[in-house]
Structure 1
Amino acid sequence: MVWLNKVKQWGQWLGLYLWLISGTVILTINASWLYWLNATSQKLGAVVNLSLGRLMQNYYQLLAYLNFPWVSRLKMTDFTDSAAALGHFADVKQLFMLTYAVFIVTSVVCYYFWRDLKKSRQLWRLILPMQAALWVPPVVVAMMAVNFDQFFVFFHRVLFRNSDWLFDPLVDRIILVLPDTFFLQCFVLAFIIIEWAFAYLLSVGKTALD
């Protein structure tokens, strides 16, 4: 049953990568401190005649809708959105739920995978996969740096089946307080987190050889 062991091993490594990616996404999308920094430095509240505290209240309402399955309706105190915008946020919510589901399932896979590696003293096997993975974020960052706008559009076209993400600021004022610079910083934060995770696991593998 050599092929079955191969399939199991591939599944374990895939589970580890998906766990790292989904965990990174979860940490990034819930980095409300990053939005607060943008709202403060760019005075985003003033753009829509709201105080900083009021703007953050609306942002937390948006995060609650996107994060919690039991919040079935998006309702922000100071923003009313078009049908297209509500449809887009519903699509984003589905992606959030998928991310959480992947993280939960792969957490189980990673737990047993890690336990087996540690028990058999094979944590050194992390070295090559993590060395290879370390090159991926810099390559993506380089592509993003060339033309972030084009990268951002491509990113949305891959993830979404429609063009509802193209908000009209005259109708959907929420887009005025969600600037491109904030999303750029979210991408950068995600790359930093996952690059650190790859480097940490690489160090674990190397330490196992000592």
Structure 2
Amino acid sequence: MKSRKKLISFFAGLSLALFLLCSSIIFSLNFKPLYSFDVDNLNISAEVNMPKEKILKNYDILIDYLSPFNKKNLEFKDFPMSQEGRVHFIDVKNLFNKISFLWVITFALSLITIAYLLKIKDFSFLKYSYSMLIMIPLLLFIPFVISFDKTFTKFHEIFFSNDYWLFDPVKDPIINVLPEKFFLHEAILILFIMCIFSLVLFFIHKSKKRK
């Protein structure tokens, strides 16, 4: 009985950690103010000789396209797109669809398992969850500091089965308004949110242990 409860607690912690990881990614993807800030911060308008308003409209089109509820084809207003570029954005959308699916599944699993554990006043799942959540930022911190460029490349090699992510700026000028530093900022935001979630769960677990 004790080992069964421990297994459920671990599974609940894992489900909650995955749910919060997916939540961090989904929130960061849809947090458009970060890109708006980076258009100014990284001088993107000057680099591509295009007004900020136009750049933001095209970015909005991309983010709306990546939504799992969007069934329309991707068509930028001010940027042409090669077949390779189109295929890559389809691959990106499929990846985010999988993340959204995992978000829903882990939410349901967390709800069921945590409801059971709260009923028997077992809060050990919180320890599993905050430990898993903090491990990812800690593990990624070193490769990020050493070389985000290599980490970024390795990410694409792992999650994509082709090299279409290596955009030709002539054929796919959209890449000129999506500099690597912006993706670094996105990654930092994701890891920061995960750290916040981990700290919140840590303090909740600590307060429950005192009672």
TM-score using structure 1 length: 0.91
* RMSD of aligned alpha carbons: 2.1
Q: Is 1:66–1:96's contact at 8 Å kept on the other side of the alignment?
A: yes
1:198 Cα deviation from its structure 2 partner: 1.1
Cα distance between partner residues in 2 of 1:133 and 1:50: 40
Q: CA deviation at 1:117?
A: 2.6
The total of aligned residue pairs comes to 210
Matches of 2:81 and 2:74, distance apart in 1: 9
Contact 1:18–1:103, Cα closer than 8 Å, also in 2? yes
- 1:16 is aligned to 16
Seen in structure 2, the aligned counterparts of structure 1 residues 132 and 80 have a Cα distance that, compared at 3 Å, is closer
1:36 aligns with 2:43: no
Shift of residue 23, structure 1, vs aligned partner: 0.7
For 1:53, the equivalent position in structure 2 comes to 53
Unaligned runs of 5+ in 1: none
Superposition pairs of residues 157-168 of structure 1, within 5 angstroms? 157-168=157-168
Work out the CA distance in 1 between the residues paired with 2:24 and 2:50: 31
Inter-partner Cα distance in structure 2 for 1:165 and 1:17: 29
Structure 1 residues 24 and 31, CA gap change in structure 2 (3 angstroms): same
Deviation of 1:139 (Å): 2.3
Matched, 1:96 2:96: yes
**What does residue 151 of structure 1 align with?**
151
Runs of 4+ with >4 A deviation: 1-10
SS across alignment from 2:92 = helix
Query: Structure 1 residues 93-102 or 7-16, which shifts more?
Result: 7-16
Query: 1:19, 1:102 within 8 Å by CA — same for their partners in 2?
Result: yes
Match of 2:63?
A: 63
Asked if the contact 1:85/1:172 (under 8 Å) is kept, the reply is: yes
The letter of the residue matching 2:183 is F
SS at match of 2:76: coil
When the two structures are superposed, what TM-score results if normalisation uses the length of structure 2?
0.91
Does the aligned pair in 2 maintain the 1:124–1:208 contact within 8 Å?
Answer: no
Higher mean C-alpha deviation, range 143-152 or range 1-10: 1-10
- Number of the residue aligned with 1:80: 80
Return the letter of the residue paired with 1:80.
P
Deviations 1:66-99 (A, max 9, x none): 1143333001100111111110000000011111
Matched residue SS, 1:81: coil
Which amino acid is 1:174 matched to?
I
Q: Distance in 1 between matches of 2:55 and 2:96?
A: 22
User: 3-state DSSP class of the match of 1:169?
Assistant: coil
Match of 2:174 in 1: 174
CA contact (8 A) 2:20 2:197 kept: yes
Q: Percent identity?
A: 28
Q: What is the deviation of 1:11?
A: 3.6
Gaps of 5+ in 2: none
Question: Which letter does structure 2 place at the counterpart of 1:168?
Answer: D
C-alpha separation between the residues in 2 aligned to 1:12 and 1:86?
38
- Tell me the residue number matched to 1:113: 113
Whether the 8 Å contact between 1:124 and 1:206 is mirrored in structure 2 is no
Tell me the equivalent position of 2:197: 197
